Chains A and B, each alone.
Chain A
Amino acid sequence: MFTLAVICSAFGLHAITVKGTVVDTANEPLPGVSIKVLNSAIGTITDYEGAFSLTNVEPDATLQVSYVGYFTKDVKVDGRTNIDIILEEDIAKLDEVVVIGYGTAQAKDLTAPISVIKGEELTNIPTTSPMAAIQGKVPGVTILNSGTPGAGPKVRIRGTGSFGSSEPLYVVDGMFYDNINFLNNDDIQDMSILKDASAAAIYGVKAANGVVIITTKKGVHNQPARISYNGYVGVQSVTKRLKMANAHEYATMLQEANPTAYNPVIQGAIDAFGGNFANLQFGADTDWYDELLRDALMTNHSINISGGSEKATYSIGMSYLYQDGIMDTDNNYNRLNFRAQLDYDATNWLKVGFSGVFSQAKQQLPNLSAWQVAFNAPQFFPVYDDRRGDDVTPIKYASPEQVGINNNIYNPVATANYTNSLNKTNQYLANFYAQFNILPEKMNLKTSFGKDYSTIKGRTFIEPYYVGLNQQQAISSLTKNVTTYDNWSWDNVLTYKDKFDNHGVGAMVGYSMRQDSYYFLQGTVSGVPAGKEEYWYIGNGDAETAKSSDNGTRYRSQSFFTRLNYDYAGKYMLMFTFRADGTSKYQEKWGYFPSVGAAWVATSEDFMQNQNVFDYMKVRASWGKLGNDNVAASDGFASIISGLGASGVFGNNTYPGFKNTSYFSWLKWEVVTETNVGVEFTTLNNRLDVDLDWYYRQTDNAVISPLLPFENATLAGNYGTIENMGADIQATWSDRVGDFKYHVTANGSLLRNRVKDLGGKKMIKGGKTANIVGEKMNSYYGYKVVGVYQNEAQVAADPIAVANGLKPGDLIYQDVNNDGQLNGDDQMALGSYIPDFTYGLSFGFEYKNFDFSLSTLGTVGAELYNRKRALHYQSAYYNFDHDQFKNRWHGEGTSNTEPSAAALMNSYTTQNTNSYYVESADYFRIQNIALGYTFKNIKMGSYKLPSLRMSINADRPFSFFKAHSFTPELTDAEGWDTEVYPLASTFTFGLQIDF
């Protein structure tokens, strides 16, 4: 072909101009389709009417027509000057170019399960972090969102495989990250989620929790500048409100528990704020959550400009996001991002490029403890009390002391407001590369240098205030800190691919060097004058109280890696990858991570040509090893503890001392071995696409920290083995009926998580949960409630009840060994926050200028620990939630599951971990509903606006769950529900304009 073209031009055949349009099978014009003249630099993009025009085309040339989501088509010109092209939709996205580690591949050639999310799917979903926007979209990827403004979600890919961090690795334009909270949804071109070991093993020791590769937006060759604006503005409102006991209900419970003990406080509230003791009516009845919650604004605006010439492509963008918190105090997040990308073909053998992101964010942090304080505070005192004395400053908040409660209960509104904590983040990501084309289209060497530099400046100021004896700050306190991350990496990759008859071969070898540095500097001082923020410098405080500390880490690594692949006639594919990772973090420096994968495209076989059940079918199998170096580095030597805590006082001073307990830490990375078997097929005339994968992954050398003998301190070791086994399925049906184009997608993930071994121990107990061999990780461990004592006879007959002085209404714990005593032997695993099944369902359609989508998600089989309730052990005066009041035992036969008011305050209930506090965390949620209308070709005088889409979007409008929580979606990996910032439903109006 190539030679033919050369000969033709040599003979001077006249080049022609080719025009035409590109449409889909429904005859709808397709804008943005790439049309390239093969073996030349000539190319273009279709306009908004799907039209294109190419000049200087040889009459016998071939046009390659490609468009995301459609099969690529090669069209021979054959001297024609007008060519209309029809593209067929590629529902299984077989032709899609997928970004894989250190390279790209076509989806049809993959041997591993890789999910791809396109940037368009993230646009205008109101989240601060792009990962939050993919919740429920990808089977096997669990996202746990937080309501805190600007906080990123927790992400789990295929279960939890580490007692430490289970966060995946993010690779943004080649640089490694722990999270991508600095990116705007609109910065992203696409995201590849490498789920199994064969895909992720190329990232070696960092890949055990899965890898998410993010490519920021890029321009396209031969495209005039495209300017687009995306934006939304909306309001956030709490998804579901937890109803607490009101003052009357609370007082009723106190009286039921012990009238002599609690009547003084009830009387105290009535004396202080009015009311009537006889019928327990209170002058003050403050719903603290009402006081703490508000509706809040969220908005995002972004502008992108991209395009390209024959030799260069570019893309540049800017975005601004603002999110106000739904806690009714000063808490919010804003972020300004700039992004640029440039690729340039300097010569025919050299290509250079750059991509960069600058992100500047400011996060005003809420005081999360206010959520718990509000749960605990009884409602019988007001927010403010103007009658209070001058010692109450600067705001006349009411205090529970006015009622007669001096401990543990605080004014929640004051708790929320008397804190001022701010983080300012500046983050720069820059990547430069040069690519040498050694053999055109076959072999190239790419060298790239990436640099990530970020600083987080934190400042917390607590002004002097007085609410009560137990809620005061006598002298202001100021804490300032600066955290710096300074990472670089240098990657060199040699890629070769070729085809001999039916044999396709590919090889990649690479070498990478990296260094990650972290530095933290903190200073604190007391006595800085309140008032203006400009005063808040350490020098303005009491010099004698000024203190500083710092810390840092620096790790280096170097790696060699390779990928070899082979395919025969597009039927059989084989892939092998290997990475050798060296790291300075551990004593054992080098780790080796191999993987293999194979795939068979059954529908390419001759014997499958005569069937019409499957349009496409591929069977895959893979195996590989991965590492997780997200575990603490070991010093490799025992270290000593010094400082004030290790220094004795002699007279009025300390003698600098040290503690040396000689424990030696020696850690190495965790190793995950994973096997994956999958099948994907399309059937029913290319309308149903199904992806199904089964996997088994085992983590060995899992780092866990058993307690040191007789100590509260722990010492980490590679003792654990964890298994995660599961299946991911995704099925998409798409079809069109006339102008009505629709799709239905269902996805689900089954997961079986178990602790397999703990280095010989049966159980290792942590502060919140226990890890027990044969049970799910992080299981709650305690007594199982089997009923409620109904009457005195039942109490008298049970030796456990007698020994513990129980009364009717107290909980009955299962006496597992039936020895008539309740002790450690009767405790058991009571559930875990790791779900068994997660699922998502979505539906969408396009009809004329309308588009609509609805998505839902849910989880089954997870339990949370209602720490909000369990905290009642701290104080008998803590409030109850409304259901605790409504469902309580209050006489024989009233309940056999819910304790009485007295039992809710009894340490037998509150001080023992038990199943009363373990609640189902299952939920089902309407995740997103969006309705859009697109105006095309609006004329504005002489200017034609190509496209304008308006949309309304409801994010998380409805949630259904039973737990006594604001949300069962917790960012605490161990499922403790306390101090949880409620999630918001967000209702937005969105606008997308292409200029």
Chain B
Amino acid sequence: MKTRNKIFALATGLCLMAGSLTSCDYLDIAPENSVPEESVDYTDIENMYAPVSGCYATIRTNNMHWVINLETVIRDGDVWSGRIDDQGDLLKINKFVYGTFWGIKEMWNQYYGMIKVANGALASLDEYAKNITTESDMKLNRQYQGEVRIIRALAYYRLAQMFGAVTILKNNEQSNMRRSSRDAVLRYVLEDLEYAMTNCPELRPNEMNHMGAFTAFTAKALAAKANLILGDYKAVETLTNDIISSGKFALYNDYYELFKIPGELCNESLMECQSTYFGMGSGESATVDQFFNCAGPALSNATLGRSFGGWNFVGYTESFQNWVASRNETVRAETTFLRGGTTTRDGDFVKAAGNTENTSCWNGKWYVPINQIIEGRNQYGGDNNVRIIRYAEVLLMNAEALVRQGKSGDIPFNLVRDRAGMSKITGVTVDQILDERRMELCCEWGTRYEDLLRTNKANILEGWAADRAYFPVPAEHIIDYPELREDPID
């Protein structure tokens, strides 16, 4: 019986031990390696730029997706995908047959990704604002909200440009995805930009504390672009005049280097997507991923003993090359065309396409000489920035707005021509301005196709029809949100 007692004592002890450990606290532990959103310290005003920086990141990570690069430029008759043996759907999109190309959803999602991050950042900035005590911090808060709104406006502008009518996502929890008309979207863009014009400093991006951050002038330039589509030339004139009369901007002297490392954040730049290797030949990088690389031919430089290879996409059409030749362009022709079998002024040999049906004339604006890319890095385009809005475009918009309102656009117009080594034109006409835009801005951000659309000339394009002017809403989204089929609200 003694043994029995011992066992019972032991068993009871075990049970007690178990019982004492069985408090609810045992299960109440915080998840590892996860920072709750609430723990962002919104009283730490020093850190208020963090959500804004997150929005700038989306320009790099979303807007610069390589397939968007292609989709943006290939519908204007001057540029094609450049390859018959890869991404064949792009050849059909050239003829305005969209099908179910994967890149359509990708483009849509990338821009809504930007918009959601911007919506979230505005909410975060509101949280910071609640803890702000000084007027100077409050002003900074409004400036930052302005920068975020410029980025959001860029995303909507791009959506309107590519898809026409799209959904305005007022907040990230919105469940009705019915679309708004293109013009309604552009008006929403202008609202955001209005706020930025009021609250962001009137500086050049390269004068900003956060080097290259967007300013009131960036907002004005983007607003001018939106108004150009809406046909409000008065507004275009006012906005571009503001930029020109500030005296802060000037065309960069060397059109070739303008697009390369030396031209980064020059005084011509109003909006630029920045990228960096942190000055190091290996290790982490914050670059535009495949944006340049997709459009790169094989390069080799015998002197440097280095060679690069891209994906060989994006080519200029024969007709465009001939048109440029007929204009006797020299400066812009050298920079624009990167031809197979030639050697660039930096000594890089451009390998011709093996497949003769593919292009052998690539986009030189996305070419970065090997000697400008730090040793150890082997990606075509390296850590070059991407120019999004240049002063040259502002001048040409100014000229067009003036001419369309019966005034002379010669002065701003000839500034652009002069830099390109082209003779002055007096009494410039709208058509001449459109041609100048076709040349100056070719293969950058889809201005040519947009010019054809807004001037009702798109029907010169093979396969074009009014109901195919824009990319279709991605089929997958229509399954989930049938309201996307409904007519857009104005």
How far is B274's CA from A290's CA once the two chains are assembled, in angstroms?
Answer: 48
Task: Kindly specify which of B110-118, B342-350, B401-409 makes contact with the partner chain.
Answer: B110-118
Task: Kindly specify which of B6-14, B315-323, B325-333, B441-449 makes contact with the partner chain.
Answer: B6-14
| Residues of chain B within 8 A of A818, CB atoms compared | none
Centre residue among B21, B177, B281 by max chain A CB count within 10 A: B281
Instruction: Known A558-B26, A646-B57, A662-B120; judge A651-B212 contact (CB<8 A).
Output: yes
Taking the closest CB of chain B, its distance from the CB of A491, in whole angstroms, is: 10
Report 10 cross-chain contacts, Cβ distance below 8 Å, ordered by A residue.
Answer: A258-B84, A492-B15, A494-B11, A513-B26, A635-B31, A635-B34, A647-B56, A654-B53, A655-B53, A658-B40
Taking the closest CB of chain B, its distance from the CB of A302, in whole angstroms, is: 37
How far is B309's CA from A815's CA once the two chains are assembled, in angstroms?
Answer: 42
* Range for the number of chain A residues in contact with chain B: 35 or more
How far is B14's CA from A76's CA once the two chains are assembled, in angstroms?
Answer: 42
* B contact set with A: CB distance below 8 Å: 3-4, 6-8, 10-11, 14-15, 18, 21-22, 24, 26-29, 31-38, 40, 49-61, 84-89, 92, 95, 97, 99-102, 106, 108-109, 112-113, 116-117, 119-121, 123-124, 167, 169, 172-175, 177, 210-213, 265, 274-276, 278-284, 286, 298, 305, 307-309, 311-312, 351, 354-358, 376, 378, 475-481
Partner of A265, one of B18, B101, B123, B354: B354
A542 touches B50 (CB 8 A): no
| Residues of chain B within 8 A of A652, CB atoms compared | 276, 278-279
| Residues of chain A within 8 A of B60, CB atoms compared | 648-649
Given A557-B27, A638-B37, A653-B276, 18 extra CB contacts under 8 A: A391-B305, A406-B312, A547-B283, A552-B32, A582-B27, A637-B34, A648-B59, A648-B60, A648-B210, A648-B274, A660-B37, A765-B476, A824-B478, A875-B85, A876-B85, A905-B85, A908-B88, A912-B100
How far is B85's CA from A875's CA once the two chains are assembled, in angstroms?
Answer: 6
B27 touches A657 (CB 8 A): no
| Residues of chain A within 8 A of B49, CB atoms compared | 655, 657
B210 touches A262 (CB 8 A): no
A268 touches B278 (CB 8 A): no
8 smallest CB-CB distances across A and B, nearest first, come from: A648-B56, A657-B53, A404-B354, A824-B475, A545-B283, A907-B88, A876-B85, A469-B309
Instruction: Known A265-B355, A406-B354, A637-B36; judge A911-B61 contact (CB<8 A).
Output: no
A407 touches B86 (CB 8 A): yes
B22 touches A558 (CB 8 A): yes
How far is B376's CA from A258's CA once the two chains are assembled, in angstroms?
Answer: 39
A12 interface residue (CB < 8 Å to B): no
How far is B26's CA from A706's CA once the two chains are assembled, in angstroms?
Answer: 33
Instruction: Known A261-B355, A648-B274, A651-B212; judge A469-B308 contact (CB<8 A).
Output: yes
Task: Kindly specify which of A128-136, A336-344, A707-715 makes contact with the partner chain.
Answer: A707-715
Chain A residue nearest to B281 in the complex (CB)? A475
Instruction: Known A652-B278, A874-B86; judge A823-B100 contact (CB<8 A).
Output: yes
Instruction: Known A558-B27, A635-B31, A649-B286; judge A657-B57 contact (CB<8 A).
Output: yes
Taking the closest CB of chain B, its distance from the CB of A460, in whole angstroms, is: 16
Chain A residue nearest to B54 in the complex (CB)? A657
How far is B15's CA from A645's CA once the two chains are assembled, in angstroms?
Answer: 52
A660 touches B124 (CB 8 A): yes
| Residues of chain A within 8 A of B51, CB atoms compared | 657-660
Instruction: Known A469-B309, A657-B50, A660-B54; judge A262-B274 contact (CB<8 A).
Output: no
| Residues of chain A within 8 A of B56, CB atoms compared | 647-650, 655, 657
A649 touches B54 (CB 8 A): no
Per-residue interface assignment for chain A, residues 721 to 759, with 1 indicating a CB less than 8 Å from any chain B CB and 0 otherwise: 000000000000000000000000000000000000000
A610 interface residue (CB < 8 Å to B): no
| Residues of chain B within 8 A of A763, CB atoms compared | 479
How far is B121's CA from A633's CA once the two chains are assembled, in angstroms?
Answer: 26
| Residues of chain A within 8 A of B167, CB atoms compared | 710
Centre residue among A492, A583, A824 by max chain B CB count within 10 A: A824
Partner of A545, one of B108, B275, B282: B282
| Residues of chain A within 8 A of B173, CB atoms compared | 662
Chain B residue nearest to A803 in the complex (CB)? B97
| Residues of chain B within 8 A of A262, CB atoms compared | 355
Instruction: Tell me which residues from 898 to 935 in chain A have a Cβ below 8 Å from any Cβ of chain B.
Output: 905-908, 910-912
Partner of B211, one of A447, A651, A706, A761: A651
How far is B30's CA from A639's CA once the two chains are assembled, in angstroms?
Answer: 13
| Residues of chain A within 8 A of B117, CB atoms compared | 659-661
Partner of B108, one of A582, A633, A662, A710: A710
B36 touches A526 (CB 8 A): no
How far is B40's CA from A649's CA once the two chains are assembled, in angstroms?
Answer: 22
A276 interface residue (CB < 8 Å to B): no
B479 touches A762 (CB 8 A): yes
A589 interface residue (CB < 8 Å to B): yes
Partner of A405, one of B57, B354, B356: B354
Centre residue among A546, A640, A710, A911 by max chain B CB count within 10 A: A710
Taking the closest CB of chain B, its distance from the CB of A970, in whole angstroms, is: 24
| Residues of chain A within 8 A of B309, CB atoms compared | 406-407, 468-470
Taking the closest CB of chain B, its distance from the CB of A649, in whole angstroms, is: 4
| Residues of chain A within 8 A of B59, CB atoms compared | 648
| Residues of chain B within 8 A of A551, CB atoms compared | 32-33
| Residues of chain B within 8 A of A117, CB atoms compared | none
Instruction: Known A469-B308, A657-B57, A877-B85; judge A649-B274 contact (CB<8 A).
Output: yes
Taking the closest CB of chain A, its distance from the CB of B28, in whole angstroms, is: 7
How far is B298's CA from A404's CA once the two chains are assembled, in angstroms?
Answer: 11
| Residues of chain A within 8 A of B113, CB atoms compared | 710-713
Taking the closest CB of chain A, its distance from the CB of B102, in whole angstroms, is: 7
Instruction: Known A544-B283, A554-B32, A661-B120; judge A650-B85 contact (CB<8 A).
Output: no
Per-residue interface assignment for chain A, residues 534 to 564, with 1 indicating a CB less than 8 Å from any chain B CB and 0 otherwise: 0000000010111100111110111000000
How far is B393's CA from A581's CA once the two chains are assembled, in angstroms?
Answer: 66
Taking the closest CB of chain A, its distance from the CB of B273, in whole angstroms, is: 8
Partner of B109, one of A261, A554, A710, A905: A710
Taking the closest CB of chain A, its distance from the CB of B81, in whole angstroms, is: 11
A656 interface residue (CB < 8 Å to B): yes
| Residues of chain B within 8 A of A762, CB atoms compared | 479
B29 touches A648 (CB 8 A): no
| Residues of chain B within 8 A of A403, CB atoms compared | 354
A660 touches B85 (CB 8 A): no
Partner of B54, one of A408, A550, A648, A905: A648
| Residues of chain B within 8 A of A642, CB atoms compared | 50, 54
Chain B residue nearest to A405 in the complex (CB)? B354
Chain B residue nearest to A823 in the complex (CB)? B475
How far is B91's CA from A876's CA once the two chains are assembled, in angstroms?
Answer: 14
B57 touches A645 (CB 8 A): yes
| Residues of chain A within 8 A of B34, CB atoms compared | 635, 637, 639
B14 touches A554 (CB 8 A): no
How far is B24's CA from A583's CA once the two chains are assembled, in angstroms?
Answer: 10
A472 interface residue (CB < 8 Å to B): yes
| Residues of chain B within 8 A of A496, CB atoms compared | none
| Residues of chain A within 8 A of B55, CB atoms compared | 648, 657
B31 touches A660 (CB 8 A): no
Partner of A660, one of B57, B106, B121: B121
Partner of A556, one of B7, B26, B475: B26
Chain B residue nearest to A550 in the complex (CB)? B33
Instruction: Tell me which residues from 298 to 346 in chain A have a Cβ below 8 Å from any Cβ of chain B.
Output: none
Partner of A492, one of B18, B40, B61, B86: B18
A647 touches B26 (CB 8 A): no
B54 touches A658 (CB 8 A): yes
A450 interface residue (CB < 8 Å to B): no
Partner of A553, one of B32, B37, B108, B213: B32
| Residues of chain B within 8 A of A713, CB atoms compared | 113
Partner of B123, one of A647, A655, A662, A765: A662
Chain A residue nearest to B375 in the complex (CB)? A474
Taking the closest CB of chain B, its distance from the CB of A351, in whole angstroms, is: 12
B476 touches A657 (CB 8 A): no
B356 touches A824 (CB 8 A): no
Instruction: Tell me which residues from 629 to 645 in chain A have a Cβ below 8 Å from any Cβ of chain B.
Output: 633, 635-642, 644-645
